[in-house]
Amino acid sequence: MNRIAVIDYGMGNLHSVAKALEHVGSQLGQQTEVLVTPDPQLIQSADRVIFPGVGAIRDCMAEIIRLGVGDIVREAIATKPVFAICVGMQALMSRSQENGGVDCLGLIDGEVRFFGDELKDAAGQKLKVPHMGWNEVEQLGEHPMWEGIADRSRFYFVHSYYLAHDAQSAARGVIGASHYGAEVAAAIARPNLFATQFHPEKSQEAGLTLLRNFLQWDGQA
């Protein structure tokens, strides 16, 4: 039995990620139990943990702090594989510029920034914000989570704030990058932690493969 806890701290729709996990679990012929829960004990007893996030960072962090989710996530990463998605990934950073500046969990050093009102592509064309839709993710290194996923596969993104792919990327464990008027850190891999700015549960085959890999991942590089 593979027990996956999806941390429910009241922010947004967790149905999609739960359904996608159940789907890939059955593809693996695995007994998979997906629990969408705020209960620290259930999360503690799970084999794997999903740390989702959607909406504005201020509201997310307020609930994370109120429900003590930071400690739950820290504890989980110390003992088992954790997958942080979208605002879940952003919440791991030190800080976000969103909502006038919000302190985040600080598990990874770095600031989440706004794409800006004057975002342009290489040809000087104005780009829309949010960054919404399917973009290519360049794999920056080999990793068991990339198994079976072609380099530069497209994943579904929707966000207006991002972590830059820059000189600190290696130290942060950035393992996937995308380009959207700026260099975007699309995925981070550290011991027992995989985090993506994109939504694997909305990214059809590429995303489902990533989730399938997560169900089998031992947390090591």
Partner 1 sequence: MGLAKRIIPCLDCENGRVVKGVQFLDIRDAGDPVEVAKRYCDAGADEITFLDITASHEGRETTVHTVEAIASQVFIPLTVGGGIRTLEDIRTMLNAGADKVGINTAAVTNPDFVRAAAERFGSQCIVVAIDAKRVSSENEEPRWEIFTHGGRKPTGLDAIEWARKMVAYGAGEILLTSMDKDGTKSGFDLELNRAVSRAVPVPIIASGGVGNLQHLADGVLEGEADAVLAASIFHFQEYTIGEAKDYMAQRGIEVRLV
Among 63, 75, 111, 136, binds partner 1 (CB under 8 A): 136
User: Any contact of residue 135 with partner 1 (CB under 8 A)?
Assistant: yes
Q: How far is the CB of 145 from partner 1 (least distance, A)?
A: 17
Decide whether 18 or 76 has the Cβ nearer to partner 1. 18
Q: How far is the CB of 77 from partner 1 (least distance, A)?
A: 26
The one catalytic residue in 98, 159, 165, 201 is: 201
Is residue 81 classed exposed, middle or buried when 0-12, 13-18 and 19+ CB atoms within 10 A define those classes?
buried
Q: How far is the CB of 63 from partner 1 (least distance, A)?
A: 13
**Which long-range contacts link 62-70 to residues 24+ away (Cβ below 8 Å)?**
63/9, 63/10, 63/11, 64/9, 64/91, 64/105, 67/9, 67/10, 67/38, 68/40, 69/7, 69/9, 69/38, 70/105
Q: Segment 57-116, which members bind partner 1 (CB under 8 A)?
A: none
Q: Segment 150-169, which members bind partner 1 (CB under 8 A)?
A: 152, 154, 156-160
Q: How far is the CB of 180 from partner 1 (least distance, A)?
A: 6
Among 90, 96, 203, 213, binds partner 1 (CB under 8 A): 203
Quick check: 194 and 144 in contact, CB under 8 A? no
- Residue closest to 14 by CA, chosen among 49, 44, 62: 49
User: Any contact of residue 30 with partner 1 (CB under 8 A)?
Assistant: no
Category of 188 on φ-ψ map: left (φ > 0), alpha (ψ -120 to 50) or beta: beta
Contact region with partner 1 (CB under 8 A), list: 37-45, 64-72, 96-104, 123-131: 123-131
Residues binding partner 1: number (CB under 8 A): 40
Residue reference for tokens 């791991």: 92
User: Any contact of residue 117 with partner 1 (CB under 8 A)?
Assistant: yes
Query: Residues in the site for partner 1, rule: CB under 8 A?
Result: 12-13, 15-16, 19-20, 22-23, 54-56, 117, 121, 127-136, 152, 154, 156-160, 178-180, 201-205, 207-208
- The residues annotated with a catalytic role in the active site are 86, 199, 201
